[in-house]
Amino acid sequence: MTLTRAHLPLALLLGVSVFAWVGHLFVFGDPTADADWKKAAEFVEAEIKPDELVRVVPDWSEAPLVHLGSNAHANVDRRRKLLPEDLVGASAFWIIHEKGRWSDAVEALPGRVEELQRKRFDSVEVAQIRIQDVPRYERLSDRLKDARVSLVDGAGTQTPCRWTSRWTCSVNRRYVAQEVHEVGDEPRHCIYAVPVGGDKTLRVEFPGIDVSQGVVVRSGVSLHGTRAPSGPDVKFTASIKGQEPQSTTFAYNDDRWHRMDLKGEGRGDLVFDVWAESSHRRHFCFDAYVTSARD
């Protein structure tokens, strides 16, 4: 058949349709794979418990997330690489992964993997796992209500902050609360504690903590703060009362999730001080993890 000018619109439409179909295969993958993601997600949705988390491998894939229901979707863990402290509150993990990517899943985990069950859905697999041979922690941000929070001036005078559903301090409407912030390019549960500036130090104390097995302290400035073109340094100090304190300083663009280790005998008061010349864009947070006996 000879192609005439009258056939050009039809030919163009056909060409665009073929191009779109081929593009769909390259960009979005085989539609059968989506069916596999769907089956895997539905399986996890039916099996998951409230204290279990879901991880997807590769971590950039959104394919199974659209098929998760309310039970599993609320428990999706998007951190690329887990630390032992990140296991707080999670009894197990559900790993939804592309076939052949199991080694990628294991590399992102901080301990030995105990596989509890596995299901295969052609190109997608699901494994329920527990992570072993890592310390078990209690997160002190979960006990923030029991802390003592105050502002300490240059003369050492402490002004207590007030607890409602969070700690509220009288200067610049600053508050201290348990929140989730992106620090070190990962979402972190932490105690949000922005310095108030001037001669006042923000102090958070946890009295009577068992420090005999060690305490891991993590701290950093959130991504929102480190993207600022400038800002004052933040000085953070952690100590067991009566011991020499440890401290670190965060420059305006310092995106570390910094670690300190404290250890003492029996029980002691943990003291955390946060200070900067001003509070401008200093979205600081920290947490402390008390080591407990292994399961």
Helix H or strand E segment including 10: helix 8-28
β-strand partners of 272: 204, 238
Say what the pLDDT of residue 295 is. 43
pTM score of the predicted model = 0.82
Task: Find the range with the poorest average confidence among 91-95, 194-198, 201-205.
Answer: 194-198
pLDDT above 50 (res 11): no
Which amino acid makes up residue 252?
Y
Q: How far is CA 43 from CA 36, 102, 195, in A?
A: 11, 18, 46
Task: Find the range with the poorest average confidence among 49-58, 179-188, 200-209, 224-233.
Answer: 224-233
pLDDT above 90 (res 150): yes
pLDDT band at 173 (very low <50, low <70, confident <90, very high): confident
pLDDT above 60 (res 117): yes
User: What's the fold here for domain 137-292?
Assistant: Jelly Rolls (2.60.120)
Q: Which residues of 189-226 are buried (b: 16+ CB within 10 A; e: fewer)?
A: bbbbbbbbbbebbbbbbbeebebeeebbbbbbbbbebb
pLDDT band at 197 (very low <50, low <70, confident <90, very high): confident
CB 151 within 8 A of CB 157: no
Nearest partner of 270 among 235, 244, 238, judged by Cα: 238
In the three-class reduction of DSSP (H, G, I as helix; E, B as strand; rest coil), residue 275 is classed as strand
The pair phi, psi for residue 136, each rounded to 5°, is: -105, 135
Q: Does residue 260 or residue 225 have the better pLDDT?
A: 260
In the three-class reduction of DSSP (H, G, I as helix; E, B as strand; rest coil), residue 32 is classed as helix
Say what the pLDDT of residue 18 is. 40
Nearest partner of 93 among 123, 117, 69, 65, judged by Cα: 117
Task: Round to whole Å and give the CA distance between 38 and 121.
Answer: 9
pLDDT above 70 (res 10): no
